[in-house]
Amino acid sequence: MSLLTTYESLSTLDEVVLKCSLTETPSIVEEVLLPDDRRQNDLPYKFYGISENGRQFLAEHKLLRAQDTLREIYDRVEKTDDIKRYETAPRPER
């Protein structure tokens, strides 16, 4: 997938998210908390992910096709030590 296609997918996703926020469409994003016993003072404990309704909605609108390309781009980004530390922080089960 080209970067232009990725950009077009993201632009469409922005429009879909805006439309969803203006209607009573179930949220495409869900908050997931790390259990108290797994939290560490200096690491995040609140995370956000695509809900099951959101994944279904995005699939129906063919907006998941950019996922692999976006992951490849993200993996190539140079990250600071803090970002690397946060990336490896404990995550809640989903």
What pLDDT is recorded for position 9?
Answer: 53
pTM above 0.75, yes or no: no
Let me know if residue 93 belongs to a domain.
no
- pLDDT at position 26 over 80: no
Question: In this structure, is residue 70 part of a structural domain?
Answer: yes
Q: Is the pLDDT of residue 80 over 50?
A: yes
Residues of 30-54 as b/e, b for ≥16 C-beta within 10 angstroms? Answer: eeeebeeeeeeeeeebeeeebbeeb
Q: Is residue 66 part of a domain?
A: yes
- Total count of domains within the chain: 1
Residue 49 lies inside a defined structural domain of this protein? yes
The parent domain of residue 33 ranges over: 3-87
Question: Is there a contact between 14 and 28 (Cβ–Cβ < 8 Å)?
Answer: no
Let me know if residue 11 belongs to a domain: yes
Check residue 38 and report its DSSP letter: G
